[in-house]
Amino acid sequence: MATDPRIPVRNEIDKVLDKFSTYETTTLSSLDNVEAKLKELLELVENAMPMDDDSSNLDEALDSEESEAPLLSSEQVSNIMATLAEVKSVSSSVSAKHRELHSFVSKIGKCIDKNFETSYDFMTHQTAFLRDETRPRLYEIICNHLCREGLQSTADQLMEDSNMNINSEFMTKFRDVNAIVVALRNGDLQPAMKWALEHSEKLKEKTSSLEFKLHRLAFISLVAGGAQNVTAAIEYARDHFTPFIPNHQSAIQHVMGSLVFMRTGLQGTPYSGLLQTSQWDDLIRTFTKDACTIMGLSMQCPLAVCISAGCTALPVLLNINQALTGSQVHNMWSAKEELPIEIALGKNNYYHSIFSCPIMRQQSTESNPPMRLICGHVISKDALTKLTNANKTIWGWASSRTSQKDTRVKCPYCPVEQTPQEPQQIIF
């Protein structure tokens, strides 16, 4: 197992941080020292200067040929010269140390290059999206992402530019959902209310809280309006909350409590949280989730799922590549577009089970379901039929008396034999 490539980089970073802190301490103390000396000199020069207002400029005073006596004693002048030389030496030492820091910083870059993979070419599937049947799927997934982000016009443009009419049904569905989300963002509950009413039955089936959340926010909006809305708020609660009492009793009780503070405003009361924008964010999340489920769209953006799966798989693939460096692997993907090993993508990326027959290399369908052999190995029904037929052909010559019952099928993975009737269908 390769060592963690972050360790040497971290060591280099620690070295630089150490250098920085030493640099800071030493530089600051020598600069403070120099600053103090310069201040002293400045004071000395200022005191030596004649108080004459016309020659307040330091240079003029020093250069003045008219001054009869020198302003500073020779000892003071040599003191100034010594201090200036010290300033020069300190500044060159500071800049030299600074240059030294650069070399330590650049070492980090070199260390990253040395320990981390910079080329991912071996992992890319060069032809995956070049085929006619796969390219539209790539555009579709990008359009799907754009629509989910509310960038409908960009998605339309992409479709136009790619000369593809991608799943227009999906686009229309998303257009409707987006319009409602935009309205919700603007504080308009009506389009969502209308949608919820149209899909009321389905929402009830999945025990969605969307309808309640919509009415709750409509009620809160009335409460936020202040004293003038008291009657309207009470009437609204009476008209709309009753069907939700069995499932949302405590939430209704809480929200009704806010009526007490309607005249004074909810700010600073235990109900101030009802006015927060997070209430709307939560409603938008619930609406998007329910709308996606009801319309048969996945809740997660497929592009995000792909990227997250790729990021999970990347370190494992890098390790394999490092281990195989000697064998000059140019591409990880097999001819069957499969990766060399199976990579666990974590529970978040578990979806419905799809059985892929190891013999026929096909995904199971309703007409070709997975069959469990008595040994526990699973193959598709088509594979089982093929094995049975193959055995019939082999044994057919032996005796015409060989009946269907006598045909034995051997598991392709272990020595166990069984009759074609013994395997059982698996239903996921």
- Site residues for Zn ion per CB under 5 A: 375, 377, 411, 413-414, 416
Closer of 225 and 376 to Zn ion (Cβ): 376
Question: At its nearest, how many Å lie between Zn ion and the CB of residue 416?
Answer: 5
Question: At its nearest, how many Å lie between Zn ion and the CB of residue 375?
Answer: 3
Closer of 244 and 413 to Zn ion (Cβ): 413
Element spanning 369, H or E: none
Closer of 233 and 423 to Zn ion (Cβ): 423
Question: At its nearest, how many Å lie between Zn ion and the CB of residue 368?
Answer: 19
User: Strand, helix or coil at 428?
Assistant: coil
Question: At its nearest, how many Å lie between Zn ion and the CB of residue 413?
Answer: 5
Question: At its nearest, how many Å lie between Zn ion and the CB of residue 374?
Answer: 8
Closer of 232 and 414 to Zn ion (Cβ): 414
Residue nearest to Zn ion (CB): 411
Closer of 218 and 416 to Zn ion (Cβ): 416
Please give the Cα distance from 346 to 338 (Å, whole number).
19
Question: At its nearest, how many Å lie between Zn ion and the CB of residue 411?
Answer: 3
Contacts of 36 (CB under 8 A, 6+ apart): none
Number of neighbouring beta carbons within 10 Å of residue 41: 16
Closer of 289 and 377 to Zn ion (Cβ): 377
Please give the Cα distance from 272 to 274 (Å, whole number).
5
β-bridge pairing 424-425 and 409-410: unpaired
Q: What are phi and psi of 4, to 5 degrees?
A: -65, 115
**Residue 416 one-letter amino acid:** V
How far apart, in Å, are the Cα atoms of 88 and each of 22, 62, 99, 103, 156? 21, 21, 16, 23, 65
Are the C-beta atoms of residues 202 and 294 closer than 8 Å to each other? yes
Element spanning 260, H or E: none
